[in-house]
């Protein structure tokens, strides 16, 4: 994942055709990720969503509080702890 400060991206976009292409690519990439997330949210089970999250962000359950993970997955901490 590439992280570029918004001010730097806007400056490059205003001053370079290549930067405009990069900005468009980054926007498209984020839109695709968002659509994939929304589809997964409605079509996958809680266990599948948790495993996909852990695959994308290894050991996230050791770095992020359980109530935040539960909220992100659309469930409660109590329900998540049963899994």
Residue-wise pLDDT tens digits, 6-53? 888 778 778 877 877 887 888 898 899 888 888 888 888 888 888 888
Alpha helices in the chain (DSSP H): 6-15, 17-43, 46-56, 60-63, 66-73, 77-81
CA 82 to chain centre: 24
Give the residue from 44, 36, 4 showing the smallest Cα distance to 22: 4
Token readout for 76 is 């409660």
Confidence of residue 68 (pLDDT cuts 50, 70, 90): very high
Confidence of residue 83 (pLDDT cuts 50, 70, 90): low
Q: Residue range 68-82: average pLDDT? A: 86
pLDDT greater at residue 83 or residue 36: 36
> What pLDDT, on the 0 to 100 scale, is given for residue 2?
66
């Amino acid at each position: 994942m590439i992280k570029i400060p918004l001010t730097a991206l806007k400056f490059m976009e205003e001053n370079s055709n290549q930067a405009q292409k990069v900005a468009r690519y980054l926007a498209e990439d984020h839109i695709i990720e968002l659509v994939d997330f929304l589809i997964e949210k409605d079509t996958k089970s809680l266990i599948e969503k948790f495993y996909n999250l852990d695959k994308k962000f290894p050991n996230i359950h050791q770095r992020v509080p359980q109530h935040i993970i539960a909220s992100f997955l659309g469930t409660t901490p109590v329900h998540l702890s049963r899994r």
